[in-house]
Amino acid sequence: MGVLGSDVRELSTGEDVTVTEFSGCTSEGSAAGGQTPYCAGKWRFDDGRTGGGRIEGGETTVGDKVFVGDGFAYSARSSLIWSVSLTGLLGLFLLGMVIVGAVLYRLDKPRQRREE
One digit per residue, pLDDT tens: the chain, 116 residues? 466 777 777 777 788 888 998 888 877 655 555 566 788 889 988 888 888 988 887 778 888 888 888 878 888 887 778 878 888 899 999 999 999 999 999 988 877 777 76
pLDDT recorded at residue 95:
96
pLDDT recorded at residue 33:
58
pLDDT recorded at residue 58:
74
Domain boundaries, the chain: 3-87
Find the length of the chain.
116
Torsion of CA 3, 71, 58, 30, to 10 degrees: -50
If phi over 0 gives left and psi between -120 and 50 gives alpha, with beta otherwise, what is residue 56? Answer: beta
Neighbours of 67 (CB within 10 A): 23
